[in-house]
């Protein structure tokens, strides 16, 4: 390319460009007008330039991402048919959510030996059942996603008790050394309102409890379940920052393992006001997950997964994670998220670890601080959900069935539970009341 | 296992890019017209959206051909105007690049960037008095909602659509906080270079320029 441009234009420095912008601003203050401060304490500049280029060396995943459909098990037969239909549409991974043991012969009929990756989300813990399923699926790639700390954070209680819970998973791990038994359900923190820096820090500290307990041998068998929101570039940077730090921490254990990242759309920003808008949000979230480097992108509906399938086809041999490399802006926020998350992680470790801070209620308090901040911003329409607190469309029907009201049962808990909370919940209730 | 001590853990920051394309700083730095009319454009003048009318726009699957055609058309319009003693600055003030967005995000953004670069190069040859003349205005048309994302990321000045999906991107995704947010991405810079070179070669050949 060489003289193509050099013979006509001169290169310019970041400083020169800033000067030009100040001229354009015609007296308005640069910082006031053009800088954006985020809840993470990160400042977004109006432009990024190679002069202030910074980046971290992010470990990349070589395998292309899987496209996963999450199905709640109703009857084994019906779920099996839904699963087969999803596979026929191009999905190559399935996540089953179950609240009680199921019959694998029926559920997995015609689904085995097809290179499908299976994920589970079990609402109970049973050594016997998990061992049975692991044996049944011994030739398949399976993620059990058992997260006793996540369950404690979510419900406020252990399944049975600290010792029993740890003993149970220890037994399961012992019997299934090569299976992916554990997960770190970071999505809970996102859905409860933690910011990106907090999510990354908590994911690491949460996982480090398992490393401390079981040693580095389990590092390669933990899945990280992230919820991805629609803050496009921050979500990309979040996953990258996490990958970097996970690698950094494992170095301390003299161990190398690639973080396995599973992404689902966030609940935070979904509303009952306009369902098409939710689909648009999910589509964007899926793109962030792909560019960020998620190993699996999972949705509940095939509508949105179709777009992911199309996107993947269009990528050809390009790895979306690598397409981000060296982007001034994303590399810069990735570095800042990593830097801030590492500080929080170190603080948590210094004060005795994640479990300790959960028991003391510190994690809950920190998340609530951010949740409240966001809620105020939402109520002031600084943080916008189109169709909910801005650009309301009164002709659209409200679909109040699309989200179950999140249960907030008052029962005795060991620790304060972390509760997912959608930003528009209160607004919706108010509106529904007015219409009734 | 004993709890590890992480107090000394540090991140390691790298300050240079693996690959640095020669022209990055021309696009990245001033003259800012290469990245949009003003870096401040979204903050100072919110970008316009219009309802889709029925004006036919020529669709072309190859960005380089689309760009070469646009340059040729503009070149001829400008030459005609100059013959009528209309100044270059006045002649270009009404020209804008109207394009349908229907490809993937990177191809569309690369097309926008290449269009700005080539426009500036062509107009520079006419020695305009105003620097704004070097800045190309881009109007994009979208048929499906997700293409609004590419249009905004590419930095279009206006967007025509029959839906209001762009509101979501403007309000919820944070993508308007910084200009040309994918700049520097090795993949995007390379794609920009490819489209630029090909389009310029076609343009030169069609108009028998050296």
Mean pLDDT of all residues in B171-175: 94
Q: Are A271 and A282 in contact (CB under 8 A)?
A: no
Give tens-digit pLDDT for B92-120. 998 989 999 888 899 999 999 889 888 88
Residue A290 has pLDDT above 60, yes or no: yes
Mean pLDDT of all residues in A411-416: 92
Please report residues of B whose CB lies closer than 8 A to that of A45. 178
CB-nearest partner of B167 from A55, A325, A386:
A386
Most confident of A39-53, A352-366, B4-18: A352-366
In A, residues 229-248, which contact B (CB 8 Å cutoff)?
230-234, 244-245, 248
Report the DSSP pairing between strands A36-37 and A43-44: antiparallel
Identify which has the larger pLDDT, A241 or A17. A241
| pLDDT at position B29 | 39
Give the minimum alpha-carbon distance from B36 to chain A in angstroms, rounded to a whole number: 11
Give the minimum alpha-carbon distance from A314 to chain B in angstroms, rounded to a whole number: 7
Distance of CA B50 to the CA centre of its chain: 19
Q: Which of A254-258, A426-430, B156-160 has the lowest mean pLDDT?
A: B156-160
Q: Are A142 and A180 in contact (CB under 8 A)?
A: yes
Q: Which of A79, A76, A118, A99 is nearest to A298 (CA)?
A: A118
Residue A255 has pLDDT above 90, yes or no: yes
Q: Which of A41, A370, A266 is nearest to B172 (CA)?
A: A266
| pLDDT at position B210 | 64
Mean pLDDT of all residues in A400-428: 82
Report the percent of chain B where pLDDT is more than 70: 80
| pLDDT at position B35 | 57
Residue B10 has pLDDT above 80, yes or no: yes
CA dihedral A82, A85, A87, A93 (to 10 degrees): -20
| pLDDT at position B57 | 57
Give the minimum alpha-carbon distance from B167 to chain A in angstroms, rounded to a whole number: 7
CB-nearest partner of A342 from B9, B19, B39:
B9
| pLDDT at position A1 | 41
Residue A330: other Cβ atoms inside 10 A:
26
| pLDDT at position B16 | 85
Sheet holding B158-161, edge to edge: B48-51, B158-161, B138-142, B97-101
Give tens-digit pLDDT for A300-330. 999 999 999 999 999 999 999 999 999 999 9
CB-nearest partner of B22 from A2, A234, A245:
A2
Give the whole-angstrom CA distance, residue A289 versus residue A65. 10
Please answer yes or no on whether B167 and A391 come within 8 Å at the CB atom.
yes
Banded pLDDT at A343 (limits 50, 70, 90): very high
| pLDDT at position B14 | 92
Q: pTM of whole model > 0.90? A: yes
| pLDDT at position A86 | 97
For helices A232-252 and A196-214, angle between their N-to-C axes, nearest 10 degrees? 30
ipTM of predicted complex? 0.93
| pLDDT at position A163 | 96
Give tens-digit pLDDT for B181-206. 998 999 998 998 899 899 999 999 98
For chain A, the helix, strand and coil percentages under 3-state DSSP, each to the nearest 5: 50, 10, 35
Please report residues of B whose CB lies closer than 8 A to that of A266. none
| pLDDT at position B81 | 95
Give the whole-angstrom CA distance, residue A101 versus residue A408. 25
Mean pLDDT of all residues in A230-240: 98
Banded pLDDT at B160 (limits 50, 70, 90): confident
Identify which has the larger pLDDT, B20 or A213. A213
Residue A65: other Cβ atoms inside 10 A:
26
CB-nearest partner of B178 from A4, A45, A318:
A45
Give tens-digit pLDDT for B34-93. 555 555 554 445 556 666 555 545 566 789 999 999 999 999 999 999 999 999 999 999
| pLDDT at position A325 | 95
B161: which strand partners? Answer: B51
Concatenated DSSP letters of A124-145: S--HHHHHHHHHHTTTSEEEEE
Please answer yes or no on whether B183 and A44 come within 8 Å at the CB atom.
no
| pLDDT at position B61 | 73
CA dihedral B204, B207, B208, B210 (to 10 degrees): -40
Give tens-digit pLDDT for B111-148. 998 898 888 888 888 998 987 888 888 888 888 888 89
3-state secondary structure of B134: helix
Give the whole-angstrom CA distance, residue B155 versus residue B136. 11
Banded pLDDT at B164 (limits 50, 70, 90): confident
Please answer yes or no on whether A335 and B28 come within 8 Å at the CB atom.
no
Minimal-distance CA residue of chain A relative to B182: A327
Q: Are B136 and B91 in contact (CB under 8 A)?
A: no
Give tens-digit pLDDT for A41-99. 999 998 888 888 999 999 988 889 999 999 999 999 999 999 999 999 999 999 999 99
**What are the residues whose beta carbons fall under 8 Å from the beta carbon of A109, sequence distance 6 or more?**
A80
Cis (ω within 30 of 0) for the bond into A62? no
């Amino acid at each position: 390319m060489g003289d193509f441009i050099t013979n006509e234009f001169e290169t310019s420095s970041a400083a020169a460009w800033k000067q030009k912008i100040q001229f354009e601003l015609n007296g308005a203050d640069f910082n006031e007008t053009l800088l954006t401060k985020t809840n993470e304490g990160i400042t977004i500049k109006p432009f990024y330039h190679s002069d202030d280029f910074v980046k971290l060396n992010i470990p990349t995943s070589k395998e292309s991402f899987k496209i996963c459909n999450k199905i709640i098990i109703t009857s084994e037969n019906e779920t099996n048919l839904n699963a087969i239909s999803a596979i026929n549409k191009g999905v190559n991974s399935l996540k089953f959510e179950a609240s009680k043991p199921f019959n694998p012969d029926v559920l997995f009929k015609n689904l085995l030996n097809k290179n499908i990756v299976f994920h589970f989300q079990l609402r109970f813990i049973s050594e016997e059942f998990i061992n049975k399923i692991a044996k049944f699926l011994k030739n398949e790639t399976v993620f059990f996603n058992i997260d006793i700390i996540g369950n404690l954070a979510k419900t406020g209680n252990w399944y049975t008790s600290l010792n029993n819970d740890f003993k149970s998973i220890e037994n399961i791990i012992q019997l299934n050394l090569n299976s992916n038994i554990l997960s770190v359900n970071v999505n809970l923190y996102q859905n409860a309102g933690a910011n990106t820096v907090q999510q990354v820090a908590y994911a690491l500290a949460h996982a480090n409890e398992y490393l401390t307990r079981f040693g580095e041998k389990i590092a390669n068998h933990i899945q990280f379940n992230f919820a991805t929101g629609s803050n496009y570039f921050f979500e990309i940077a979040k996953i990258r920052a996490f990958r970097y730090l996970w690698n950094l921490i494992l170095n301390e254990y003299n161990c190398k393992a690639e973080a396995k990242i599973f992404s689902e759309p966030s609940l935070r920003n979904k509303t009952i006001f306009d369902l098409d808008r939710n689909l648009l949000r999910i589509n964007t979230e899926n793109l962030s997950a792909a560019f960020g480097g998620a190993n699996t992108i999972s949705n509940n509906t095939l509508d949105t997964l179709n777009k992911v399938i199309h996107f993947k086809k269009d990528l050809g041999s390009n790895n979306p994670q690598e397409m981000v490399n060296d982007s001034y802006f994303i590399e810069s926020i990735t570095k800042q998220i990593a830097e801030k998350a590492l500080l929080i992680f170190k603080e948590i470790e210094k004060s005795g670890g994640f479990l300790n801070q959960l028991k003391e209620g510190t994690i809950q308090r920190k998340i609530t601080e951010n949740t409240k901040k966001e809620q105020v911003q939402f109520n002031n329409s600084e943080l916008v959900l189109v169709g909910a607190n801005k650009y309301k469309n009164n002709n659209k029907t409200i679909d109040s069935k699309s989200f179950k009201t999140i249960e907030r049962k008052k029962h005795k808990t060991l620790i304060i539970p972390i509760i997912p909370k959608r930003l528009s919940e209160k607004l919706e209730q108010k509106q529904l009341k007015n219409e009734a | 296992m004993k709890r590890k001590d992480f107090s000394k853990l540090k991140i390691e920051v790298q300050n240079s890019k693996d690959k640095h394309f020669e022209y990055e700083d021309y696009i990245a730095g001033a003259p800012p017209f290469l990245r949009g009319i003003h870096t401040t454009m979204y903050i100072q003048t919110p970008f316009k959206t219009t309802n889709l009318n029925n004006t036919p726009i020529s669709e072309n699957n190859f960005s380089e051909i689309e760009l070469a055609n646009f340059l040729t058309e503009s070149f001829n319009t400008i030459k005609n105007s100059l013959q009528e003693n209309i100044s270059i600055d006045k002649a270009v003030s009404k020209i804008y690049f109207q394009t349908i967005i229907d490809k993937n995000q990177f191809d569309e953004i690369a097309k926008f960037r290449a269009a700005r670069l080539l426009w500036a190069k062509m107009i520079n040859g006419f020695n305009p008095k105003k620097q704004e003349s070097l800045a190309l205005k881009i109007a994009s048309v979208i048929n499906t909602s997700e293409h609004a994302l590419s249009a905004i990321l590419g930095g279009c000045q206006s967007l025509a659509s029959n839906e209001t999906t762009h509101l979501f991107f403007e309000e919820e995704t944070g993508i308007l906080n910084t200009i040309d947010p994918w700049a520097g991405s090795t993949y995007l810079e390379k794609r920009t270079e490819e489209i630029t070179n090909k389009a310029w070669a076609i343009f030169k050949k069609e108009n028998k320029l050296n």
